[in-house]
Amino acid sequence: MTNAIVIAGVRSGVGKTTIATGIMGALTRRGYRVQPFKAGPDYIDPSYHQLACGVPSRNLDTWLIPHPTVTELFRRAGGDDKICVVEGVMGVFDGHSSLTEEGSTAQLAKLLNAPVILVADAAKVARSVAAEVLGYQMFDPDLRIAGVILNGVGGPRHMEFCQPQIEATTGLPVLGYLPRREDFVQPERHLGLIPTVEGTVVQQWYDALIAQVEESIDLDRILDLASGASPQEDAPQVYPAEPQGKRARIAVAQDKAFSFYYQDSLDLLEAWGAELVPFSPLTDKSVPAGVGGIYIGGGFPEMFARELSENHSMLDSMRAALKREVPVYAECGGLMYLAQSLSDLEGNDYPMVGALPVVSSMSNSRLTLGYREVEAREDTPLLKKGQRVRGHEFHWSVLAEQPRADQSVYRVVNQDNRPEGFQVGSIWASYIHIHLGSSPGLARRFVDTCVVE
C-alpha cells in the first residue's frame, strides 16, 4: 500500500496548484516526507511543489508514458514512508481525447488506485456548487472521489451556504476551503505561472499559504484518505535492473532561461551511466570541459535574450563545441538559443549561437500547444531512424521559416507528417519535448551517443 492523494480540479484556474502546494507544504512542516507529483506535461507547477517539499516533483502522464512505466516512476519515487500528493491537470476528466479519459487526471488516479480530492470554485455560487460536484461524481462512478475542497470562499457564512448542500447531496465530506485572498494569487505570463527558479515566489507567500491551509483545511482527514492507494506492480520498464557505471559526461543547461526538464529524464540519464554537469548559458563563460554531449531543454530564453546574446564567451564556447562535433540535443528554448537570432516580447532582435538556419520571434497571437507523436527521420541521440515516440509542444514563439523535410529531425505523425525540428551537423533541435521514460531505451541511447571513445 502507498499513501497517496490526488488533488484535482473541476476545471483549470480553480486553484489546484495553490491548494496542492499548500497541502504539500503543510504536511512537510508537520514532519512528513512528502513526494510531489504533477499529472500531465507541465514544467512550471512542479517548481512550486519542489520549494514546498524540498524534493523534486515528478511528472506522471498517462498519454506520453506507457501505463506500466507511469506506475514504475510513481513507485520508485514514492514509498511506504512517504505521503504522495499528485496535482492534477486541467479539469479532472480533461486529457488527450474528447470522448475518452486518455491522458486525464481521472485516468491517472484510477491507474494509481488513489483517492481524489475535488477542488471547486465557490467564489460566485452558494449551494449551487453542490450540483457541480454531483455532476462530477456521477460522470464517472469508477473514479474514487473522496472529498471536496472549496476555493474562493468569502468566509464562514459563505461556507454555511455551500458545505451542507454538498455533503447532503453527494455524501462527500467537505475537507475545507481557501478564502478569497489576493496575496495568494501568483503572477503569470504567456505560458502560465512564472517558474520559481526566477525567484519571484517569496517565502512569505509559502508561509501565509501554509498557515491558511493549517487553519481551514482538515489535514488529518486528508492523511486518513491517503492511506488507501495501491498501484499495480510491474517489472522495471525504463530504469536499469542493475546499477550502471558512469561512462559519459553530459552538460545540461540549467538556469533562469533553461529550466524545463522532467526530473525522471535527468534521473534516467544518470541511472544509465551519465554524469550530468549543470551549466548556465546566461552566466558561465564556457561549456563544461570534457563533456561528450550537451542537453539544452526548454524554458524562457525570450525573457533573457539580451543577457544570453551578450555572453559572448559562452556563445563562442558553444560554437567551438559544435565545430568539434559534440552531440547537442535541444528542445524548444534550446532550439531558439541555437538559432541565428531571437526576438523578445518587445520585438528586439538579439543574435544567438547561429548554428541553425532559422530565426525565432515571439507571437502574441498564437499559442502552439498539444500532444504530438513523432517519427525520427534519421538516427538521433534518442531514436533510431523510423522509431516513433510521443511528446508535447507548448510555445508562443514562431520560426520565420519552417524546416524542410530533408533537414528536419522528425515528421509529426498526428499532424499530416509535417517536418519538425532541425538536424544540422551534431545538433538535433526541435520544439517537441520528450520524456525519456516514454519509451524504453531513450535514455540509454542518449548516454551511448555521448560516450567519448
Q: Which are the catalytic amino acids?
A: 332
Which residues are within 8 A (CB) of 248 and not within 5 positions of it... i.e. 6 or more apart? 273, 274, 275, 292, 293, 447, 448, 450, 451, 452
Polymer length in residues for the chain: 453
Within 10 Å of residue 37's Cβ, how many Cβ atoms? 25
Tell me how far CA of residue 327 lies from CA of 318, 381, 434, in angstroms.
11, 8, 17
Which cell numbers in the block locate residue 124? 460566485
Cα–Cα distance measured from residue 149 to residue 172, given in angstroms and rounded to the nearest whole number: 10
Which cell numbers in the block locate residue 43? 514544467
Task: Provide the phi-psi class of 314: left if phi over 0, else alpha when psi is between -120 and 50, else beta.
Answer: alpha
Residue 291 has phi, psi (to 5 degrees) of -85, 150
Q: Which residue has the cell 529524464?
A: 265
User: Which secondary-structure segment (H or E) carries 135?
Assistant: helix 129-139
User: Which secondary-structure segment (H or E) carries 248?
Assistant: strand 248-253
Handedness of CA 155, 161, 163, 166 (dihedral sign): negative
SS3 label, residue 172: coil
Cα–Cα distance measured from residue 122 to residue 375, given in angstroms and rounded to the nearest whole number: 45
Task: Provide the phi-psi class of 190: left if phi over 0, else alpha when psi is between -120 and 50, else beta.
Answer: alpha
SS3 label, residue 231: coil
Q: Which residue has the cell 551511466?
A: 273
How are strands ordered across the β-sheet holding 274-279? Answer: 274-279, 248-253, 293-296, 328-331, 427-430, 422-424
